[in-house]
Chains A and B, each alone.
Chain A
Amino acid sequence: MKRKAVSRISLGLSLALLSTALSGCTFGFASDPDDPNEAVKEETIDTSVDTFQYDSSLEGTQITLLNTKAEIQVALEKVGAVFEERSGVHVEVMPVTDGDSPYTKMVSLYNSGNPPTLSILDTTDVIALAQEKAADLSEEAWIAEAEGYLTEVNGKVYSLPLCIEGRGIIYNKTVIEETLGEPFDPASISTLEEFEALLKRLAAAGMERPLSLAKEDWSLGAHQLQYIYETYDGTSEGAREVIEQIKAGELDLAGYDRLNEFLNAFDILKQYNVSAKDPLGADYDEMAIDLADGKTALWFNGNWAWPNLAEAGAETEDEYGFLPYFLNNDPTDFANQMIQGSPSKQVMLDGQMATEKQQAAAKEFLNWLVYSEIGQQMLARTCNIIPPFQNNPYEPADPLSRDIYEKVHQGMAFNASAIVPNDHWAILGAAMQKYLAGRSDRQELTESIQAYWDEQ
């Protein structure tokens, strides 16, 4: 009977697909040496020297580490395995999965009576949870190594800053040079006018719209809009101060220079946006490919974009770097000289449910990351992050992180992070989307920002 035959065929097909999938055979040109996706290089770690003093009484202790930085999940598992090999402490790395926000996961874990010993959180989450849940880390030795990157809650340190992240306008040097037919020196640009001139020349040279602008609310609401707080004077205190003023209604946003300057700059980015025709239809993954391929030369983003660029075919030897988010035409303004770079993820230790022994083991793990030769390497190489610790001699491998690293060490980065309520990026990100799409004007956007802060 026909229907039986059909069902047999579909069953057979499914099984065939299953079995080929399981046997894992490969055909086609998967191993083509030109394939840009081939062989993501594994950084090797030198484990021959290890002078770290392990506390043998902690052997056999089990601790958990909640990871909210999904892209380093596999790397962290490796770090945990190496640490266990050396210290005898088992570190279980728990992921935050698709659809969960870090905070939601923390809420559910605390409610289930099974919170992680250590958790990697955003600064706002640490501030929300620290006083009630976290162990005081103010007495730890690594405090001295992370000078300037610590987050204090009521005068105490509750978290270890895990990495420095920076953002700005990413350029692809090779593409700019090929398009303009002349050498490109990023340091030659120090005002918004000069930046606009660069865009104009790129456009004249045939690259009509040389810049990618993400439509995502986290990019617009957090990474872009927060410049108006962070460039107040380039410090976290300044950002806090200006936010207090906006909240209290003491600062007239319409007359606030940094907001107007930010929008002037944003308008220029908007104009040269590769998807200016339909800015809200832009695709994040495509931006990386466009930049790597040379369809565009610039992309507003941060050093976390490297894995995307690498997947799109960029090599670590390629010349990528950051331009500042130019705000005005004053070449002496720090905002036109420096890029923003500040600690972004914090490791908090649970002080409520974790046993003494677990806390001690967790502290040992943190010390190991900061002080041991292996831990230092693994942080910089395996996880490919920029550690904020002065004693860590290892430079990051990819060009974006290396640029941030160098700028931080040359004093060409300003360390300001605005602490805003957790829904800031979502709510004002939507307002920014509306402005990006040309469906609202400056006045409406300014009013939305004021209205948001009035409610806080």
Chain B
Amino acid sequence: MKSKSNGKDFCIFALPGLFCFLAVLIVPFLYGVYLTLTDWNGVSQEKNFTGLKNFAAVMRDGQFWSSLLLTFKYVIFVVVIVNVLAFGIAWLLTRGMKGQNFFRAGFFTPNLIGGIVLGYIWQFVFSRVFVSIGEATGWSMFEASWLSDPGKAFAALVLVSVWQLSGYMILIYVAGFMGLSEDVMEAASIDGAAGLVKLKNIIMPLMMSSITICLFLTLSRAFMVYDVNLSLTGGAPYGTTEMAAMHVYEKAFTSRQFGVGQAEALILFVITACISGLQVYLTKRKEVEA
């Protein structure tokens, strides 16, 4: 595009989308930031400006910081496993294998199950299926429900998140592979050591934009994990699997410290923004333009 019609282009191409985005997301967000500086409890008609008092309360909330630490641990596991798995599966599914459409539809199904059903099905798997495997085999690993032990409940959370997020990331990686040209795809279908080298030298750089997107999405979604946390463990056993986002929500609505919860959400946002910003910056540099 030529720069002289820049203003008109901006109005036609950029403005409508930008307006929706600002009105729905940014304005409420800024209002939310303002609320962290008040003593508003969510319902009262009075709002008094209290400065950084809510943030001081966040500093004292030890539970928040330990949930944040747990979230970090969780993010690392989830991001690595999801991306390796999804990349691998997407690669297999774009090599012209027989029945690949059927497989793709199957890998899509985790996207279809959410909320209470997701929690129920998986609770069932961890509490009942695993225990009956344990009874049949005598393996101590499956002796008791995974959800009643803090360590295993955490592993269960990672497992379910991997299941759910991979389904999504496979879609994006598949689209990325489909965007590659025929010759590149052909290279991808060669097996053995030569194939691996080609994967690293030819395909990975071309897939960098998909990788950037998927890393970013898994990173931000893992940091914000709420639904899976709530419906699978609900923080159980005894509060050991409560992640940051769930803690924030509980603080605001169960403990009814709206301002503190809002302030914690803001801190969580800033931390996540820094980390994923860094990630996008690093991986974007490796992208090749067409």
| A–B direct touch in complex (beta carbons closer than 8 A) | yes
> Quick check: A280 and B43 within 8 Å, CB to CB?
no
> Quick check: A10 and B237 within 8 Å, CB to CB?
no
> Quick check: A279 and B102 within 8 Å, CB to CB?
no
A187 within 8 A of B: no
**In the complex, which residues of chain A have a beta carbon less than 8 angstroms from the beta carbon of B235?**
426, 430
B115 within 8 A of A: yes
Q: Which of A3, A279, A431 has the most CB of B within 10 A?
A: A3
**In the complex, which residues of chain A have a beta carbon less than 8 angstroms from the beta carbon of B115?**
98-99
B174 within 8 A of A: no
Known contacts A99-B230, A277-B144; is-contact A6 B253 (Cβ 8 Å)? no
State the 8 A-B residue pairs at the shortest beta-carbon distance, nearest first: A281-B145, A280-B148, A430-B239, A278-B144, A434-B238, A433-B238, A423-B255, A430-B238
> Quick check: B148 and A132 within 8 Å, CB to CB?
no
Q: Number of residues in A with C-beta < 8 Å to the partner?
A: 37
> Quick check: A107 and B253 within 8 Å, CB to CB?
yes
Which of B47-55, B93-101, B182-190, B206-214 lines the interface with chain A? B93-101
A355 within 8 A of B: no
| 8 Å CB contact of A6 from B102, B145, B147, B230 | B102
> Quick check: A6 and B101 within 8 Å, CB to CB?
yes
> Quick check: A278 and B148 within 8 Å, CB to CB?
yes
Known contacts A280-B148, A430-B238, A437-B148; is-contact A103 B253 (Cβ 8 Å)? yes
**In the complex, which residues of chain A have a beta carbon less than 8 angstroms from the beta carbon of B287?**
none
Q: Which of B115, B234, B239 has the most CB of A within 10 A?
A: B239
B42 within 8 A of A: yes
A129 within 8 A of B: yes
**In the complex, which residues of chain A have a beta carbon less than 8 angstroms from the beta carbon of B143?**
278
- From residue 91 to 105 of chain A, which have CB atoms closer than 8 A to chain B? 98-99, 101, 103-104
Known contacts A280-B147, A281-B147; is-contact A129 B255 (Cβ 8 Å)? no
| 8 Å CB contact of A132 from B45, B99, B254 | B45
Known contacts A6-B99, A278-B144, A280-B145; is-contact A101 B253 (Cβ 8 Å)? yes
**In the complex, which residues of chain B have a beta carbon less than 8 angstroms from the beta carbon of A3?**
98-101
Nearest CB in chain A to that of B98: its residue: A2
**In the complex, which residues of chain A have a beta carbon less than 8 angstroms from the beta carbon of B43?**
106-107, 110-111, 128-129, 132-133
Nearest-Cβ distance from residue B124 to partner chain A, whole angstroms: 8
**In the complex, which residues of chain B have a beta carbon less than 8 angstroms from the beta carbon of A98?**
115-116
B44 within 8 A of A: yes
Chain A interface mostly helix, strand, loop or mixed? helix
> Quick check: A107 and B42 within 8 Å, CB to CB?
yes
Nearest-Cβ distance from residue A436 to partner chain B, whole angstroms: 9
Interface string of B155-194 (1 = CB under 8 A from A): 0000000000000000000000000000000000000000
A439 within 8 A of B: yes
| 8 Å CB contact of B131 from A101, A129, A132, A281 | A281
Known: A132-B44, A430-B238. 10 other contacts (CB 8 A): A7-B105, A101-B254, A110-B43, A111-B42, A217-B234, A278-B143, A281-B144, A421-B255, A423-B256, A426-B250
A406 within 8 A of B: no
Nearest CB in chain B to that of A131: its residue: B44
- From residue 284 to 326 of chain A, which have CB atoms closer than 8 A to chain B? none
Interface string of A146-185 (1 = CB under 8 A from B): 0000000000000000000000000000000000000000
Nearest-Cβ distance from residue B115 to partner chain A, whole angstroms: 6
CA distance A215 to B144 in the complex (A): 14
Chain A interface (Cβ within 8 Å of chain B)? Answer: 2-3, 6-7, 10, 98-99, 101, 103-104, 106-107, 110-111, 128-129, 132-133, 215, 217, 277-281, 283, 421-423, 426-427, 430-431, 433-434, 437, 439
CA distance A147 to B238 in the complex (A): 39
> Quick check: A278 and B253 within 8 Å, CB to CB?
no
Known contacts A6-B101, A7-B101, A132-B45; is-contact A103 B256 (Cβ 8 Å)? yes
B272 within 8 A of A: no
5 A-B residue pairings within 8 Å (CB atoms): A3-B101, A98-B116, A107-B43, A278-B145, A433-B238
Q: Which of A128, A132, A280, A283 has the most CB of B within 10 A?
A: A280
**In the complex, which residues of chain B have a beta carbon less than 8 angstroms from the beta carbon of A426?**
235, 250, 254
Nearest-Cβ distance from residue B149 to partner chain A, whole angstroms: 8
Nearest-Cβ distance from residue B113 to partner chain A, whole angstroms: 14
B127 within 8 A of A: yes
B217 within 8 A of A: no
Interface string of B233-269 (1 = CB under 8 A from A): 0111111000000000010011110100000000000
| 8 Å CB contact of B102 from A10, A133, A278, A280 | A10
CA distance A442 to B85 in the complex (A): 45
CA distance A280 to B105 in the complex (A): 36
CA distance A129 to B41 in the complex (A): 11
CA distance A430 to B150 in the complex (A): 12
CA distance A439 to B128 in the complex (A): 22
**In the complex, which residues of chain A have a beta carbon less than 8 angstroms from the beta carbon of B101?**
3, 6-7, 10
**In the complex, which residues of chain A have a beta carbon less than 8 angstroms from the beta carbon of B147?**
280-281
> Quick check: A280 and B236 within 8 Å, CB to CB?
yes
Nearest-Cβ distance from residue A439 to partner chain B, whole angstroms: 7
**In the complex, which residues of chain A have a beta carbon less than 8 angstroms from the beta carbon of B145?**
278, 280-281
CA distance A439 to B144 in the complex (A): 15
**In the complex, which residues of chain A have a beta carbon less than 8 angstroms from the beta carbon of B128?**
283
| 8 Å CB contact of B250 from A281, A423, A439 | A423
> Quick check: A422 and B236 within 8 Å, CB to CB?
no
Interface string of B5-27 (1 = CB under 8 A from A): 00000000000000000000000
Q: Which of B45, B131, B238, B250 has the most CB of A within 10 A?
A: B238
CA distance A423 to B249 in the complex (A): 12
Known contacts A2-B98, A106-B43, A107-B42; is-contact A422 B255 (Cβ 8 Å)? yes
